[in-house]
Structure 1
Amino acid sequence: MLVPKLQENFTFEGFVKITAVVQNETDKITLHKGNIQIVNQSVLLENKTVNIKDFIYDKNTEKYTIIVSETFKRESQILIAFDYNGILNDNMIGFYRSSYFDKDNQIKWLAATQFQTTHARHAFPCFDEPSFKAKFTIRISRDDKYKCISNMPVNKTEKLKDQVWDTFHESVPMSTYLVAFVISEFDSIGSEVFKVWSRQSVIEQTNYALKIGTTALELLGNMFEQKYHLPKMDMVAVPDFAAGAMENWGLVTYRESRMLYDEKESSAPAQQDVASVIVHELTHMWFGNLVTPEWWSYLWLSEAFARYFQYFGTAEIEKSWNMKEQFVVEQHESALIADGLESSRPMTREVSNQSQLEGIGDSITYAKGASIVRMMSLMFGTNVSELALRDYIHNNKEKGLGHPDALWEAIENHLQHTTQSVTVKTIMDTWTTQAGYPVVSVNIDDKGKFLITQQRFLLRNLNKTPTNVTWWVPLTWATQTEPNFNNTLAKIWLSTEKDTIDLKIDPKEWVIFNVQSSGFYRVNYNYDGWQRIFNVLNSDKFNDIHVLNRAGIIDDLLNLGRAGLQDYETVLNGLMYLKQETNYLPFKAALNGLDYLNKRFAGHEEHSLFKEYVLSLLHDNRKKLGYKIAQMMID
C-alpha cells in the first residue's frame, strides 16, 4: 500500500505485508531495504506476534536482518509487516518523480518506477533478488485528477475522504524488479487489453506504438506457442526515463523517443527504433518475465533473446526493412569489436557485488548474446532452435526460473536424431563461459588441403593475455564450384587448436568460410586465399558471394589489420571492390572499420591520402546517385 504525495513535498508513505515460508530453521529474517525509513515492523508466526530482539542493516549490501526471540521451524509460515516512508526522488530509480509542461505551459507532476536491477527495495522492503518470485497485491492512493496503472488491471477503485484508492488484482508470481506503477495525468488510446499512454499533447504519436505492440504480442505468442500470460498490457512514454525502456510485466515503460513516432516529422531510423525496441521489450514477457534467469550471472538468457527478436521479430512485422541482414552489421560486428578487447568478460559470469551487477548490462550480454543465439539457430538449424525455445519456455514456466543448462537440454532433445557425438552443453559452454572468440586461419596448399587453426582474437594484446584458447567452432564454407551460401549448418567442428581437412577442390578456386557470418568468429586466409576472393569481388560476379559474407570479409579485413594479423596493403586492396558495391551492408561494415583508421590518421600528414582513398571507394556511387543540398531558411 502506497501513499505518494505529488502535490506536497514529494514523499510517500508505505505499508507492506510479506507472507513467507521458512526453508530452514532460523531465528533471523534477511531481506532488502533501500533508501526508505522503517517506522514500525512486526513479525507473526502462525498468526501470533513474535518478539523482535534486534535488527541489523548493512549499507553496502542493503540487507536488513531482523533477529527474533524464537527459532522458526522449517515449513512454518510467517508474516512480516512494515510501516515506512520514503522520498520521491528525481534520479530515475526506485519510486521517483518526473515532470513536464502541458500545452498551457503549466508544470505537471507524475510518479513512476524503475526497479531493475535492485531498486524495488527503494519503494518497499522486499526479497529483492530475481529468484524470489512472489504474488503482489498493490493498493495506491491518488488525487482525483490522476490516473494510476500497475502490472495488473484495477480490481476496485474507492473514494475515501479526499483521496481515491486503486486496488489492483493479485499478480502472477514475478520478480521484484518487474513490479511497476505509474501515477500521472496521461492520456491513453487502445482497448482494455492493450493501451498506450503519454502526455496529452503527444498522444497522436502513440498510434504506431499501439499498432506494433498489438501485432508483436500476438506474433510472439504464436512463435513461442505460449500466449501472453497477463490479462492486459500497458505501454507508457515517460518524460524522464534513464533506460531506453523497461520490460515491467504488463506495464512497459519507455523513454519518449523510443515509443513516440510522428508520421510527418520522424525519420525512418526513428521509426525503426520505435518498432524494434517495442518488440525487444515485449519479447521479455517470455524471456525474462515468464522464465527469469535465476541469477544476474545469466542475464543474457533474458537480454540476448530480446535483442535477437528485436531484429528477427521485427523482420516479421516490417518485412521491407531487411532487419535480419541489418543485425549482422549492427549487432554481430559491433559485438566482435567489444569482445576483441582484453578486458572482455564471458556472457555467463560471476555477479557477487554491486560493481559486477552494474557491469552486467554490457555489449557482451546484449550484442554478443544475441549473436550467439543467432549462431545457435543457424548452426543447429532454425527448426531445431524454434522447437527448443518453445520447450525451454514450456518446461520452465511453472518454476519461472531459467538456467543455461535447461536451454542446452532443450536443444539436445531435438538433436537426438542426428549423428552429433558431442553434447550441446560442451559446445555452447565454450561460447558462454569464457571471454572472447577465435580467429580461424585458413591455409590452402597446392593440393587443395586446408590447414585450419584457431586462436583467441585480440585487437591489442598489451598484457600478454593467452591466445591458445579453443572453442567448438562450427565450420561452414562455400566454394567457386559449389557457391551454396544458404546452408549454415555446421559441416565440421573445430575443437582443437589446429586441424587438416581435405575438401577435394581445385586449389585455384576461391573458398569462403563462415557462411553468412553465421559463426561468431573471424576468418583469415593465406595470401593466395585472399587473392582468389579479391579476384571474384572485383569481377562482375561479386554478387555470387552472399552480401553478408561480403560485409563480413570487409569487417574481418579491417580488424585483422588493426590487430596486426594482416598487412594493410592486403586490407586496403580488399576494400577496393567497394567501388562497384551497391548494397548498404558492406559499406556499413567498411565505414565502421574505417572510422578507426580515420582517428588514427587524424593530425598526421597522411590523413589527406587516407581521405582520398575513402572518397575513391565512394566516387562511382556518389556520381551515380547524385546529391542535393538542402535549402535552409535563415531569419
Structure 2
Amino acid sequence: MSTSAAPSAVEERELLPTNVSPVHYELLLAPDLDALTYTGEVQIKVRVNEATSTIVLHANELEIAEAAITSIASAQLATPLQATAIAFEKSDETVHLEFARALAAETEATLHIKFRGVLNDLMVGFYRSKYTDAKSETKYMATTQFEPTDARRAFPCWDEPTQKATFDVTLRVRDSLTALSNMDVARVETPAAGLKDVVFNTTPLMSTYLLAFVVGELEYIEAQTSGEHNGRPVTCRVYTTPGKSEKGRFALNVAVQVLEYFADVFGIAYALPKLDQVAIGDFEAGAMENWGLVTYREVMLLVDEANTSSRARQMVAYVVSHELAHKWFGNLVTMEWWSELWLNEGFATWVGNLAVDHLFPEYHAWTQFLVDEFQRALALDALRSSHPIQVPVRRSSEISQIFDAISYSKGGSAIRMLSSYIGLDNFFKGVRAYLQKHKYANASTQDLWTALSEASGVDVTQFMAIWTRTIGYPIITVAELDGGAQIEIQQNRYLSAGDVTGAEDETLWWVPLRIEVHGSAGARPADVLSARRATVDVAVAGAKWYKLNKGTVGIYRVKYPASAVANIAQAIADGELETNDRIGVIADAAALACSGHSNTSDFLTLLRAYSTETEFIVWQEIATRTDALVAVWADEDAATRDGLRALLRSLFSPLAERLGWEAAGADEESLVGRLRALAIRVAGFAGDQGVCAETRRRFHAFFAGDRSAIASDALGAAFAIAVRTGGRDEFDKAMGYYLDPANPADQQLSALASLGQTTDPALLDELLEFALGDKVRNQDLHKAISSIGNHGPSRERLWRWYQTNYDLLASRYRASMSYMGILIRLSAGEFTGRSKADEVERFLAERDTQKFQRVVDQTLERIRSNTRWLEKDRDDVRAWLTKSGF
C-alpha cells in the first residue's frame, strides 16, 4: 500500500504509531439479537515496520478478553505470545498491547484478539435497529455505521483511511437469519445446531470505514446490470425487512443503470462481484457507501409507487447515484486523510447529479442543484465560522463537523465550476487517469489537480488551490464606464454580515466571469478575473443588458449598478434570461440585501420582474428568500407582518389559483406538481383565505377516506396549513397519519414536520414531549421540531425545551454529536436580537460543545447577522410596503 501525499506538518494529526501496520484481517463476529450483544475474534496479519514490544490500535467501548501473537514470519508459534498488559486510552479510543519480547523489524506477525461488544442503540459502530413485524412484535436487526471512525466500536483495528487492508469476514448467526457483508458468500458452515457461519470472500484492499455487516430477518429483490461497461453483469439486490422489498424496485432499477453509467464515464469497471443495498430503520446518516453493501435510511431507498412524492422519488434516485459514485471516488481511491473529505463527498455530490440528469432529464437536476447545493454552500460560506473545502483535521473528534455544506455542496460546486471551464471531455479524461493511477490506494487533492492539468493542458492547481484552501468567496462589484460600453469590476470577500475587515479581504480568487451581453451568442469563456480589479469591454450594438456569471456557475455574488439591475429586471420580465440566470439574479439580490450591499427594498422591487415566472425551481428560490425575510421580521409590528403576508399573496396566490389542486393530466411533469404544492403552502401561510378553506376541506375529505383529495406532492403543504389554521382535531389527524406504518415513509415524515406548525401552546408542548418518546426514531427528532421556529411566538418555547432537555439530548446523541449541531441550529437559529444571541452563547459556553462547536459558532453568527439586517432595513422595508400598497 502507498499513499500519494504525506500529511501536512501544519495539521499535527493525531495518528496511530507507524511501527506496525495491518495487512489482512480475519474477522469472526457472533451477534445475539436477543441479548443485543456480540462476541468476536480477529486475526490480524501485521507488518512490523520497526522493532517493538508494543502494538497500539483503535478500540472503543469493547471488552478485550485476550490478545496474543500467534505467528511470526508465517511460522505458527508453539505457544502464543500473550499480551502482558492490555490498557485502554479512552480519550484516544485506543488499546495498547504490551508483549514480553519485541517483534523484529521487517517481519510479519499475526495478532489474535478475542473481544465482546454491545449492539448499541447509538446508530454507530455495530448497532441494533428496531422494527415492528407483521404481528406487531418488536424485532431487531444488527447493522453497522463505521464512517468516519466507528469501525473501532465493532472490532479492534487500525481505523484510519490510509491503513488499508484486505478482510475475510465470517458472521455466526441463527440459521433463520440473513447475513450480509461487503463481499459475496464463499460458503456456509454449521458450527452448532441452529447456527450457521456465513463465510464471505476476501475483500479488495480497503479502508476500515467501508467495511459493513448486516444481520436480520430480511427479504430481497434482485436484478442484473447489462454488463455493457463493466465487462460482466453485476448482481444487484435491495434488502428490506419482511413485506417491504417491492418498495425497493425503483432504487434497484436506478442502481442497475447507474452502475453501468459510472463504469462508462470513469473508464473502470465496478470492482466487486455484487452490489447490495439495504433499508435500515434506525440510521442517522442518509446513506453509507460501504463497498458492496450500501446501507440507507428507509426513506432514502424505498418508494411507494402510488403515493411517494415526486420530490422523495428524485431524492432516492440522487442518493443511490451519490452512494454508487463513491465506489470509485472514496472506495477504489480513498482520500489520504479526513481533511480531504471533499474528494469523496464533493465529487459524489456533483457526479450524483450528473447521473440523475442522465437518467431523469425531466427533473432538471442541474437547475435544482443551484437551489439545493449551490445556494446552500454560499449561505454557509458567507459566515466567518465557515471553513475551507480542504480543512485541517487534527483528531477524530473534529471529523464529523466537516460533513457539511462546504465539503458536499461547495465541493460539488467547485467541481461544476472547474469542469465547465476546462470542458467535460478534458475533465473526465483527467478523472480516469487519476482513478487508474491511485486505485486501491490513497490520494490527495493535489493528485487530482495534477491529473486534470495533464489532461486539459491547463494549470488547474494555479487557480483551484485558492478555492479549496481558502475560506469564503468574493462579491464582484460592477461599475459602468464610458456610457456603459465598459465595466470596471472589483472583487472583495463577501460576508453575510457585511463587515469584512482588511485582514479578511486579502484573498484574490480566480473568478470565471462568463459575461453574457444581450444580442451576443452565449457567455465569453475567456474573461477571468484574478486581480483585485479589471476593466472589461461589454459594448455590443443594440445591447440592452449585460450579465455576469451566465448559468450561475461561478462561486460568487454580483453587485450591479442600479441602471444595470433595472435592465436585467426588464430582461427577466421579457423572458430573455435563462432559468439558471433568473435563479442567480434573485439569489444574489436577496443575499446582498442581507449583507447590506444593497437595500432590502431593492430585492422586493426586483421580485416584481418575476410576476409571470412559470418555472418551479425559480419559484422555489423566491420562496426560500422570502421565507428568510419573513422569519427575520417575525417579531415586527402587525402592520409590517401583514404587509409582508400581502406581498406573498400577491406573488403566490395567482399561481395557486392558476394551478388549482388537480393535475392537468396523467402526463403532467412532476415539477408542476411541486410548484402547485409550493404555491399552496406559501399562499396558505400568507393568509389566503380561499386557499386555507380549500385546504381544510380537502384535509378532512382525505381523512374521511378520499385519499385523492390531496396529491402526494401537496400532502406536506396541506397538512401544515391544516395544522396551523386548525386545532386539536387537525393535530390529532396529522399525528395519526404519522404513526400509521402503512403510509409512505416520506409522507409520514411530512406529517410529523407539519405538527410543529401548530400555534396552540398546549399542543406544542405535547409535541415537544412526544418528540422525545419512543414513537419518534432518534434520527427523526429534528423533523418533529423543524418547523416550530418558523412561527415567531413558538421560538421561545422550543428554546426552553432545548435547554431543559440538553443533558438528555447530549446523552442520547453522545456517539454522533453532529446531530446536536442540527438541534441547536433548529432550536435557536431563527432568533434575532443581540441579547438573544448572548443568551444562547452563555448557555452553550457552560457545556461541552467541542464536537459540534463549529455549528454553534455558525448559529450565533447567523443570529447576529440577521439582527444587523433587521436593524439596518427595518424602516426601509416598512416604507416600501407602504409605498407599494401592502
Query: What is the CA deviation profile of residues 2-56 of structure 1, one whole-angstrom value per residue up to 9, with x for unaligned ones?
Result: 3434354221111101111123344432210111111111124323455645444
1:552 corresponds to which letter in structure 2?
G
Q: Do the aligned residues in 2 keep the contact of 1:2 with 1:141 (CA within 8 Å)?
A: yes
Counterpart among 583, 592, 597 of residue 565 in structure 1: 597
Q: What is the aligned partner in structure 2 of residue 45 from structure 1?
A: 72
Q: Do the aligned residues in 1 keep the contact of 2:31 with 2:142 (CA within 8 Å)?
A: no
Q: What is the aligned partner in structure 2 of residue 527 from structure 1?
A: 562
Listed as ranges, the matches of 1:233-632 within 5 Å are: 233-398=275-440, 400-416=441-457, 423-447=459-483, 448-460=485-497, 464=501, 466-485=504-523, 489=525, 491-505=526-540, 509-538=544-573, 540=574, 542=575, 544-605=576-637, 606-627=640-661, 629=694, 631=698, 632=700
1:375 corresponds to which letter in structure 2?
M
Query: What is the CA deviation profile of residues 464-519 of structure 1, one whole-angstrom value per residue up to 9, with x for unaligned ones?
Result: 5723422111121100131515x6x4x22212221222344469731100110011
Query: What is the CA deviation profile of residues 373-431 of structure 1, one whole-angstrom value per residue up to 9, with x for unaligned ones?
Result: 11111112121112111111111114x21210111011111222xxx5xx311211111
Q: Quick one: distance in 2 between partners of 1:582 and 1:334? A: 23
Query: 1:121: Cα distance to partner?
Result: 0.7
Q: Do the aligned residues in 2 keep the contact of 1:580 with 1:620 (CA within 8 Å)?
A: no
Q: Do the aligned residues in 2 keep the contact of 1:379 with 1:518 (CA within 8 Å)?
A: no
TM-score (norm 1): 0.94
1:197 corresponds to which letter in structure 2?
Y
Counterpart among 100, 108, 122 of residue 91 in structure 1: 122
Q: Do the aligned residues in 2 keep the contact of 1:6 with 1:110 (CA within 8 Å)?
A: no
Percent identity of paired positions between Structure 1 and Structure 2: 32
Query: 1:191: Cα distance to partner?
Result: 4.5
Q: Do the aligned residues in 1 keep the contact of 2:68 with 2:81 (CA within 8 Å)?
A: yes
Query: 1:613: Cα distance to partner?
Result: 2.0
Query: 1:210: Cα distance to partner?
Result: 1.1
Q: Quick one: distance in 2 between partners of 1:441 and 1:152? A: 55
Query: What is the CA deviation profile of residues 278-301 of structure 1, one whole-angstrom value per residue up to 9, with x for unaligned ones?
Result: 111111111110011110000000
Which segment is superposed worse, 176-185 or 8-17?
Answer: 8-17
Residues 1:74 and 2:105 aligned together: yes
Query: 1:591: Cα distance to partner?
Result: 1.3
1:300 corresponds to which letter in structure 2?
W
1:17 corresponds to which letter in structure 2?
Q
Residues 1:114 and 2:145 aligned together: yes
Q: Quick one: distance in 2 between partners of 1:289 and 1:223? A: 17
Q: Do the aligned residues in 2 keep the contact of 1:345 with 1:435 (CA within 8 Å)?
A: yes
Query: What is the CA deviation profile of residues 340-391 of structure 1, one whole-angstrom value per residue up to 9, with x for unaligned ones?
Result: 1110001101111233212020110111111111111111212111211111
Query: 1:623: Cα distance to partner?
Result: 4.1
Write out the 4+ residue segments of structure 1 that deviate beyond 6 Å after TM superposition.
Answer: none
Counterpart among 189, 194, 214 of residue 256 in structure 2: 214
Higher strand share: 1
Q: Quick one: distance in 1 between partners of 2:298 and 2:661? A: 32
Q: What is the aligned partner in structure 2 of residue 164 from structure 1?
A: 196
Query: 1:103: Cα distance to partner?
Result: 1.1
SS at 2:168's partner residue?
coil
Which segment is superposed worse, 319-328 or 497-506?
Answer: 497-506
Q: What is the aligned partner in structure 1 of residue 723 from structure 2?
A: none
Q: Quick one: distance in 1 between partners of 2:631 and 2:47? A: 60
Q: What is the aligned partner in structure 2 of residue 22 from structure 1?
A: 48
Query: What is the CA deviation profile of residues 226-284 of structure 1, one whole-angstrom value per residue up to 9, with x for unaligned ones?
Result: 11100011111111111111110000011111111111121111111111111111111
Which segment is superposed worse, 157-166 or 19-28?
Answer: 19-28
Query: 1:71: Cα distance to partner?
Result: 4.1
Query: What is the CA deviation profile of residues 606-627 of structure 1, one whole-angstrom value per residue up to 9, with x for unaligned ones?
Result: 1111222222233543443344
Which segment is superposed worse, 228-237 or 193-202?
Answer: 193-202
Q: Do the aligned residues in 2 keep the contact of 1:4 with 1:10 (CA within 8 Å)?
A: no
Q: Do the aligned residues in 2 keep the contact of 1:350 with 1:356 (CA within 8 Å)?
A: no
Query: 1:589: Cα distance to partner?
Result: 1.5
Q: Do the aligned residues in 1 keep the contact of 2:519 with 2:543 (CA within 8 Å)?
A: no
Listed as ranges, the matches of 1:133-212 within 5 Å are: 133-162=164-193, 163-191=195-223, 193-212=235-254
Q: Quick one: distance in 2 between partners of 1:217 and 1:564? A: 47
Which segment is superposed worse, 617-626 or 243-252?
Answer: 617-626
Q: Do the aligned residues in 2 keep the contact of 1:552 with 1:589 (CA within 8 Å)?
A: no
Query: 1:456: Cα distance to partner?
Result: 0.9
Q: Quick one: distance in 2 between partners of 1:425 and 1:50? A: 51
Cα gap change, 1:507/1:529 in structure 2, threshold over 3 Å: closer, same or farther?
farther
Cα gap change, 1:625/1:53 in structure 2, threshold over 3 Å: closer, same or farther?
closer
SS at 2:416's partner residue?
helix
SS at 1:359's partner residue?
helix
Cα gap change, 1:7/1:520 in structure 2, threshold over 3 Å: closer, same or farther?
closer
Gaps of 5+ in 1: none
Which segment is superposed worse, 8-17 or 492-501?
Answer: 492-501
Q: Quick one: distance in 2 between partners of 1:297 and 1:406? A: 14
Counterpart among 38, 43, 54 of residue 12 in structure 1: 38
Q: Quick one: distance in 2 between partners of 1:255 and 1:51? A: 42
SS at 1:188's partner residue?
strand
Query: 1:463: Cα distance to partner?
Result: 8.3
Counterpart among 109, 131, 134 of residue 100 in structure 1: 131
Q: Do the aligned residues in 1 keep the contact of 2:67 with 2:82 (CA within 8 Å)?
A: no
Q: Do the aligned residues in 1 keep the contact of 2:342 with 2:389 (CA within 8 Å)?
A: yes
Q: Do the aligned residues in 1 keep the contact of 2:347 with 2:415 (CA within 8 Å)?
A: yes
SS at 2:190's partner residue?
strand
Higher helix share: 2
SS at 1:299's partner residue?
helix
RMSD, matched Cα: 1.9
Query: 1:181: Cα distance to partner?
Result: 0.8
SS at 1:18's partner residue?
strand
Q: Quick one: distance in 2 between partners of 1:526 and 1:445? A: 11
TM-score (norm 2): 0.68
SS at 2:520's partner residue?
coil
Q: Do the aligned residues in 2 keep the contact of 1:483 with 1:545 (CA within 8 Å)?
A: no
Q: Quick one: distance in 2 between partners of 1:8 and 1:216? A: 38
Q: What is the aligned partner in structure 2 of residue 31 from structure 1?
A: 57
Q: Do the aligned residues in 1 keep the contact of 2:179 with 2:213 (CA within 8 Å)?
A: yes
1:289 corresponds to which letter in structure 2?
N
SS at 1:536's partner residue?
helix
Number of aligned residue pairs: give it. Answer: 623
Query: What is the CA deviation profile of residues 570-608 of structure 1, one whole-angstrom value per residue up to 9, with x for unaligned ones?
Result: 222222111011112221221111111101221323111
